[in-house]
Amino acid sequence: MSKRDYYQVLGISRDADENTIKKAYRKLAMKYHPDRNAGDVKSEEMFKEAKEAYEILTDSNKRAAYDQFGHAGVDANSAGGGGAQGFSDAFSDIFGDIFGGRSARSNMHRGSDLRYNLEITLEQAAHGTETKIRIPTMDNCDTCHGSGSKPGSSPKTCPTCNGHGQVRMQQGFFSIQQTCPKCHGSGKIIAHPCTACHGVGRIKQQKTLNVKIPVGVDDGDRIRISGEGEAGLNGGPPGDLYVVVHLSAHSVFRRDGDNLHCEIPISFTVAALGGEIEVPTLEGHAKIKVPDETQTGKIFRLRGKGIKGVRSHDKGDLLCHVIVETPVKLTVRQKELLEELESISLKDGPRHSPRAKSWMDKAREFFSE
């Protein structure tokens, strides 16, 4: 049986951050853990499936490989070992929430991932480009360098918990550990807060980044810039920035994967007698020979005039859809010539309009039935 998609297993979107992944896994693990479903084989399988998805998607390297190649991009045994350890790691926060216990280490948090929607033109997507973006983010305070303390001072060891981040309370027969109410689990207290960030250690800033857009990027593609998300808390690592590409509508071309489509209007004279027309491409112009008796809807394919995708070896094609244009604002003489043409065509019978004759035959057959 083929494996289910890891994002589907956890019930999350493909751009979910680490916190969202963790919350989804903890919810499923609480529901399907073997200790709570003794003898239930299905629940055990659901637990193993959720655990495997969690361990792959919380590992940045494995997640990147999975996003690109699916299950083939990750080792089938990568999530198989250390089941008890994985469960313990994921549930350390759950039991901390229930009983109030959090270690000082758990107060270190990775910064949030950021998303930036970038609109580019079709030409920029086809040839690649480099652009600057300006994003709002929470970054380490330059004054206190993220410590939260006023320059010249430093955080002190919490006197309530002696730096452990937890205190033990006796309730009847039970001894319960809970987060220290004085330092909120950090093990440190800030006696002299930084005046710039008010003791938080982070401030809201605008930063400018150079983003390289690879050749062939398509609408909806994501470019991950490691470490350019929000700064972490209490010494935690920064998050990542995901630049989501959106292609603006083009006046001539419509993209479909690596292929391009465009509509080419031609006069009914060229359609009837044939001729040569010039069509636009992303590299300039190209010429197409139009055979006589060409009808609306005819498609001319220009090989290699499309786009070379990010994961493609060759360029796609340009497909030109012919539209026979009806003339407008005719002069009296032009109308006379067209009427003369129509009169001659009627005398010659239906051989000049085979599609019309075929359609009429089908219509008569339909109504006769």
**Residue 104: pLDDT band by 50, 70, 90 thresholds?**
very low
Distance CA 273, CA 341 (A): 14
Distance (Å) of CA 224 to CA 61, 198, 229, 242: 12, 32, 10, 5
**Does 194 count as an annotated binding residue?**
yes
User: What was the pLDDT predicted at 233?
Assistant: 72
pLDDT tens for 239-292 read: 899 999 999 999 999 999 999 999 999 998 999 899 999 999 999 899 999 999
CA distances to 7, 61, 326 from 72, in Å = 15, 14, 54
SS3 194: coil
Q: Report the pLDDT value the prediction gives residue 101, as an integer from 0 to 100.
A: 42
Question: What gap in Å lies between CA 181 and CA 165, rounded to an integer?
Answer: 9
Residue 179's pLDDT is what?
81
Q: In this predicted structure, which of 57-71, 84-98, 314-328, 345-359 has the lowest mean pLDDT?
A: 84-98
Q: Are 247 and 129 in contact (CB under 8 A)?
A: no
Pairs from 277-283 (Cβ < 8 Å, separation ≥ 24): 279/318, 279/320, 280/252, 281/305, 281/318, 282/122, 282/123, 282/126, 282/127, 282/253, 282/307
**320 labeled part of a ligand binding site:** no
Nearest Cα neighbor of 166 from 149, 179, 154, 175 is 179
What percent of the chain lies above the pLDDT cut of 90?
A: 32
Per residue, what are the HEC states of 250-291? CCCCEEECCEEEEEEEEEHHHHHHCEEEEEEECCEEEEEEEC
Torsion sign, CA atoms 115, 119, 124, 129: negative
Residue of higher predicted confidence among 233 and 285:
285
- Is 262 assigned to a binding site? no
pTM attached to this predicted model: 0.55
**Of the ranges 6-20, 157-171, 221-235, 348-362, the best mean pLDDT one:** 6-20
* Of 110 and 35, the one with more pLDDT: 110
Per-residue pLDDT at 336 exceeds 70: yes
**pLDDT on residue 151:** 86
- Distance from C-alpha of 297 to C-alpha of 324, rounded to nearest angstrom: 8
Asked whether residue 80 carries a pLDDT value surpassing 60, the answer given is no
pLDDT at residue 232, as a whole number: 78
161 carries a ligand binding annotation:
yes
**H-helix or E-strand containing 31?**
helix 18-32
The whole-number pLDDT of residue 96 equals 43
CA dist 57 and 363 (Å) reads 59
Q: Which has the minimum average pLDDT: 56-60, 89-93, 97-101, 355-359?
A: 97-101
| Closest C-alpha to 233, from 179, 166, 185 | 185
* 367 C-beta neighbours (distance < 10 Å), count: 7
- Predicted pLDDT of residue 356: 65
**What gap in Å lies between CA 204 and CA 125, rounded to an integer?**
32
Q: Is 180 annotated as a binding residue?
A: yes
Packing angle between helix 60-69 and helix 41-57, nearest 10 degrees? 100
Helix (H) or strand (E) holding 140: strand 129-140
Contact (CB, 8 A) for 145 and 200:
no
pLDDT band, residue 311 (cuts 50/70/90): confident
Residue 340's Cβ-count burial label (10 Å; 0-12, 13-18, 19+) is: exposed
DSSP state of 33: -
Q: How many alpha carbons lie under 13 Å from residue 63 in its C-beta half-sphere?
A: 15
Pairing of strands 166-171, 174-179: antiparallel
**Amino acid 97: pLDDT:** 43
CA triple 124-281-304, angle to 5 deg: 90
pLDDT band at 367; cut points 50, 70, 90: confident
pLDDT bin (cut points 50, 70, 90) of residue 171 is: low
Between these two residues, 74 and 297, which has the higher pLDDT value?
A: 297
Mean pLDDT computed over 197-224: 88
Burial 245-258 (b: 16+ CB within 10 A, else e): bebeeeeebebeeb
